């Protein structure tokens, strides 16, 4: 994915609306592309800035952003485990069917 495509996904990322596959691509790119990480930081600041100024809180932007990225990584990992698990279930179901067929034919 190039930078242009990545930065197009930024608003959806910040809104938490990326699908897992997109999210994964987005994270991989952002973590390896200084320019896009910078763009993400700026967009994040713009998005959260107003709310923070209103509340008057002290705010560690990089810590907050890192937290957001970590959440996203967890989401991708969790989804991957679910996907593997559902594949395994499918394989077991197929094996069970084969086993039943064998028992019917040879039993």
**By the criterion CB under 5 A, which residues form the site for Zn ion?**
3, 33, 35-36
How many Å apart are CA 98 and CA 30, to the nearest integer? 45
**CB 10 → Zn ion: shortest distance, Å?**
11
**CB 35 → Zn ion: shortest distance, Å?**
5
Instruction: Using the minimum distance from each CB to Zn ion, give the nearer residue, 39 or 64.
Output: 39
Instruction: Using the minimum distance from each CB to Zn ion, give the nearer residue, 10 or 36.
Output: 36
**CB 20 → Zn ion: shortest distance, Å?**
20
The answer for residues whose C-beta is within 8 angstroms of residue 43's C-beta and 6 or more apart is 10, 11, 14
What is the DSSP secondary-structure string of 34-46?
HHHHHHHHHHHHH
């Amino acid at each position: 994915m190039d930078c242009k495509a990545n930065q197009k996904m930024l608003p959806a990322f910040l809104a938490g609306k990326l699908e897992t596959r997109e999210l994964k691509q987005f994270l991989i790119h952002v973590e390896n592309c200084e320019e896009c990480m910078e763009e993400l930081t700026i967009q994040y600041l713009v998005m959260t800035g107003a709310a923070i100024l209103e509340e008057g809180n002290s705010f560690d932007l990089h810590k907050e952003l890192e937290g957001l990225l970590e959440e996203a990584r967890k989401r991708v990992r969790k989804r991957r485990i679910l996907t593997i698990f559902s594949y395994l279930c499918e394989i077991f179901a197929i094996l069970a069917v084969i086993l039943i067929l064998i028992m019917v034919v040879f039993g």
